[in-house]
């Protein structure tokens, strides 16, 4: 299996089918520090747009993948932070349009859309999904904790300007947190803003995966469903509640556990075996640890994951899945949380 540095997957996704991820940003480099972020806290918020990873190498990898495999439904700019911080992110869309018939997706928090150069690059995508979880500067501050120089109104104006030019599909994801932005009158304000962006689809999400802050609590499926009709078009609940499982999640967890039953593996072994990004592997390992289906054992500098027999299943040990020396290049070893990679419902 090819070893790629900047692309991962394709990952099965309910809304995007098989989606190949492209990660242009070092772990948790973002303009915001959302309380619900599944990647943990943003160590340092930034507005600095630059070539965080060499675009030439990213396009080489994409070219190789298109030649050797090329089977996916979408190619998605997503990953470990805000992709529009990469100064050349639009080149990925241009490259894919030129070299394949695959559709491209940009997952973004939309905070930099006040910049004409960001809007211009984003126009190249087939689908742009923007997250929107606030309705004014104050709610933006407490829910998304933006860089101090970001102005909510300015970003929304930029997103409106973008919508007027953009010919592709615009999706909006609204992330609701109990007690922060979830009372119907506040959700109605978010819905009014969303309507101005003339979205093709609206997705409602909540903190069903471990969030950056312990005080963040999810809304029940029923609460979320009761808010769908406040939106135009009506929103769709995309939060993956535990009892729903998710076919792709169960399939991936089963494949990983079946491998761990045969031999203990590090998180790095799993990423190589399944062609996953480390954060994606961490998500599945974290879930299996919480269910007590696997346990972590340290051997020298490495952490190995081992399938547990039924009688051995115990409480979830807090282990850093990125603590092998190799894996730590992809995710900071200082965090104890199990990282998750954004692909679909991560903002």
What are the residues binding ligand SF4 (CB under 6 A)? 30, 32-34, 37, 39, 42, 81-82, 109, 347
DSSP-derived letter for residue 285 is H
Strands 7-13 and 201-206: unpaired
Nearer to ligand SF4 among residue 134 and residue 303 (C-beta): 134
Nearer to ligand SF4 among residue 22 and residue 260 (C-beta): 22
Nearer to ligand SF4 among residue 108 and residue 308 (C-beta): 108
Q: Which of 284, 294, 273, 305 is nearest to 240 (CA)?
A: 284
Please report how the helices 267-274 and 247-262 are oriented relative to each other, as an axis angle in degrees rounded to 10. 120
Least gap, CB of 76 to ligand SF4 (angstroms): 14
Residue 224: C-alpha distances to residues 203, 227, 327 (Å): 10, 5, 37
Least gap, CB of 150 to ligand SF4 (angstroms): 11
Q: Do 259 and 265 contact (CB within 8 A), yes or no?
A: yes
Query: 233 φ, ψ to 5°?
Result: -65, 160
Least gap, CB of 213 to ligand SF4 (angstroms): 11
Placement of tokens 């969303």 in the chain? 194
- For 127, the token pair is 């689908």
Nearer to ligand SF4 among residue 194 and residue 294 (C-beta): 194
Query: 16 φ, ψ to 5°?
Result: -110, 5
Q: Do 89 and 83 contact (CB within 8 A), yes or no?
A: yes
Nearer to ligand SF4 among residue 37 and residue 235 (C-beta): 37
Q: Which of 37, 35, 44, 28 is nearest to 142 (CA)?
A: 35
Nearer to ligand SF4 among residue 34 and residue 330 (C-beta): 34
Least gap, CB of 175 to ligand SF4 (angstroms): 8
Nearer to ligand SF4 among residue 109 and residue 320 (C-beta): 109
Least gap, CB of 127 to ligand SF4 (angstroms): 17
Strands 17-22 and 169-176: unpaired
- For the chain, percent helix, then strand, then coil, each to nearest 5? 35, 20, 45
Nearer to ligand SF4 among residue 10 and residue 81 (C-beta): 81
214-221 long-range CB contacts below 8 Å, 24 or more apart? 215/35, 216/35, 216/36, 216/177, 216/180, 217/177, 217/178, 217/179, 218/177, 218/178, 219/176, 219/177, 219/178, 219/182
Least gap, CB of 81 to ligand SF4 (angstroms): 6
Least gap, CB of 115 to ligand SF4 (angstroms): 16
Interatomic CA distance for residues 131 and 305, integer angstroms:
34
Strands 236-237 and 294-299: unpaired
Least gap, CB of 144 to ligand SF4 (angstroms): 6
Least gap, CB of 145 to ligand SF4 (angstroms): 8
Nearer to ligand SF4 among residue 177 and residue 237 (C-beta): 177
Q: Do 181 and 187 contact (CB within 8 A), yes or no?
A: yes
């Amino acid at each position: 299996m090819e070893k790629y540095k900047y692309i991962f997957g394709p990952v099965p996704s309910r809304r995007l089918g098989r989606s190949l991820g492209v990660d242009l940003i070092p772990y948790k480099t973002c303009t915001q520090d959302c309380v619900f972020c599944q990647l943990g806290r943003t160590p340092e918020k930034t507005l600095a747009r630059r070539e965080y990873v060499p675009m030439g190498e990213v396009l080489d990898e994409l070219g190789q993948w298109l030649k050797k495999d090329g089977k996916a439904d979408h190619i998605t700019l997503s990953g470990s932070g805000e992709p529009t911080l990469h100064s050349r992110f639009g080149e990925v869309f241009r490259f894919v349009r030129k070299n394949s018939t695959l559709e491209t997706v940009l997952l973004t928090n939309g905070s930099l859309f006040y910049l004409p150069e960001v809007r211009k690059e984003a126009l190249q995508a087939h689908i742009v999904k923007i997250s929107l979880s606030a309705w004014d500067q104050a709610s933006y501050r407490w829910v998304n904790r933006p860089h101090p120089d970001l102005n909510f109104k300015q970003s929304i104006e930029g997103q409106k300007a973008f919508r007027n030019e953009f010919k592709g599909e615009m999706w909006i994801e609204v992330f609701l947190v109990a007690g922060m932005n979830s009372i119907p009158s506040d959700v109605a304000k978010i819905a009014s803003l969303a309507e101005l962006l003339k979205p093709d689809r609206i997705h409602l999400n909540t903190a069903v995966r471990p969030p950056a802050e312990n005080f963040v609590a999810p809304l029940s499926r029923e609460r979320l469903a009761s808010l769908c009709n406040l939106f135009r078009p009506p929103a769709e609940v995309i939060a993956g509640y535990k009892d729903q499982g998710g076919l792709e999640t169960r399939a991936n967890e089963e494949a990983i556990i079946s491998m761990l039953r045969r031999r203990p593996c590090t998180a790095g072994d799993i990423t190589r075996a399944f062609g996953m990004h480390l954060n994606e592997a961490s998500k599945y390992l974290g879930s299996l640890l919480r269910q007590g289906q696997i346990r972590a054992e340290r051997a020298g500098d490495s952490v190995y994951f081992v399938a547990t027999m039924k009688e051995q299943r115990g409480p979830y040990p807090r282990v850093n899945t990125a603590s092998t020396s190799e894996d730590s290049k992809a995710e900071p070893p200082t965090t104890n949380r199990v990282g998750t990679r954004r692909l679909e419902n991560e903002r």
